Chains A and B, each alone.
Chain A
Amino acid sequence: QLQLQESGPGLVEPSETLSLTCTVSGGSVSSRQYFWAWIRQPPGKLLELIGTVYSTGSIYYNPSLRGRATILRDTSKNQVSLKLESATAADTAVYYCARVEAGIAIDYWGQGTLVTVSS
């Protein structure tokens, strides 16, 4: 059974880099059928796509992040990671790792992890 588990610090200092890892079990991040996405939800606000890594290895970033996000896929560890530079309070959110099935939809979500940006 597919499981996505986000991990990383729950508290990040302003201006520092927010770093999260998604460990995938029961599936492969190398699969041609699936993409892997990072999505966040700030308190009281909309869900927001951060970016998607495709089966080809190419990556789409939401322009709203203004170039601050980096998503990497590590096939040897079956993980997808997220780094968000120059964090501010506006980056406080629940961060989700999710799988996208090509031609279908975002079909599975991790449990999510709350990251607070504060000093």
Chain B
Amino acid sequence: DIVMTQSPLSSPVTLGQTASISCKSSQSLVNSDGHTYLSWLQQRPGQPPRLLIYKISNRFSGVPDRFSGSGAGTDFTLKISRVEADDVGIYYCTQASQNPYTFGQGTKLEI
């Protein structure tokens, strides 16, 4: 299985500042079709996960442009600009390039 490793596991940030979360995979996430199925999820307290970013850098419907994803191969980053109070929660990276889909440990964003 592909292991997804996130850092940091906890990220205290100040309102209005930028938060950055790293995700590294144990092997390349480039699929045989040439795409990289790396996504980022947000889980607010008491809520199910919500898709933010798919295929490294594509924002899902309704996601503010304050959220951006980048990276390639095995190293990926989620950036949250102008952090708001509503951004509090746990952020997960996940890969769907190879079965079984796997998930990172989660990064807790705290204001």
**Measuring CB to CB, which residues of chain A are less than 8 angstroms from any residue of chain B?**
37, 46-49, 52, 60, 62-64, 96, 100, 103-112
Contact = CB atoms under 8 A, between A and B. Distances in A.
B105 to A, nearest CB: 6
Contact of A100 (B48, B96, B105): B96
Contacts of B104: 46
A108 B103 CA distance: 16
B24 to A, nearest CB: 15
B67 interface: no
A60 B60 contact: no
B74 interface: no
B83 to A, nearest CB: 23
B48 A106 contact: no
Interface of A is mostly: strand
Q: How large is the interface on B (under 10, 10 to 19, 20 to 34, 35 or more residues)?
A: 20 to 34
Contacts of A108: 51
B51 A106 contact: yes
B51 A105 contact: yes
A104 B101 contact: no
Contacts of B48: 96, 109-112
Nearest to A35: B96
Nearest to B52: A105
